[in-house]
Amino acid sequence: MIKVVVDDRKRVLDAAEVKAIVDEAHRVNVRIAAHATSDQAIQVAIQGGVDSVEHGDEATDATFQAMARYGVFLVATHWTAQTLRDIYLPSYRGTPQEAEAAAVRGYLEKSRASLQRALKSGVRIVAGSDMWMRYPGKTRGERT
């Protein structure tokens, strides 16, 4: 399996680029996982023929429906409340505790809603980890 970064904060590959990668990989029975967070990038990944989308954070219902139609798996990489507290919230040091709790609740509500929309659309969801951030006291394989 090869993971292709379809979008990052600077650019989004186009469907022709993704398709060229996918075609070459599939020719030798290698699967392509697409790092795609924006709806645009997820659509590009689907058009390019990827086997899975990692993250899929901003997928619309129509995009989830396209993933289901083309058999593209979703590797949802939503964070747990504990991960948010361990990694994300330390950046909020100095803010009132209630603001932190509200941030966690907001994230979790958005995550649950996204997963429910994916399931309702018929997207096949698989487990995976894409935790690239440093996590105090944990190896990459122990991070969630």
Q: Which residue of this chain has its Cβ atom nearest to Zn ion in the complex?
A: 35
Asked if 130 interacts with Zn ion (CB under 5 A), we say yes
> 86 vs 130, which CB is nearer to Zn ion?
130
Cα(137)–Cα(117) distance, integer angstroms: 34
Any bridge partners for residue 3, and if so which? Answer: 33
Which structure tokens are listed for 25?
């990989």
Segment contacting Zn ion (CB under 5 A): 18-26, 60-68, 93-101, 127-135?
127-135
Residue by residue, DSSP assigns 95-122 as: S-HHHHHHHHHHHHHHHHHHHHHHHHHT
Cα(54)–Cα(47) distance, integer angstroms: 15
In the chain, how many H helices and how many E strands? 5, 5
Asked if 46 interacts with Zn ion (CB under 5 A), we say no
Q: Out of 18, 21, 34, 35, which residue is the one contacting Zn ion (CB under 5 A)?
A: 35
> 51 vs 54, which CB is nearer to Zn ion?
54
Segment contacting Zn ion (CB under 5 A): 32-40, 68-76, 99-107, 111-119?
32-40
> 68 vs 128, which CB is nearer to Zn ion?
128
Supply the angle between the helices 61-70 and 39-48 in degrees, to the nearest 10.
20
Asked if 34 interacts with Zn ion (CB under 5 A), we say no
Task: Name the site residues for Zn ion (rule: CB under 5 A).
Answer: 35, 54, 130
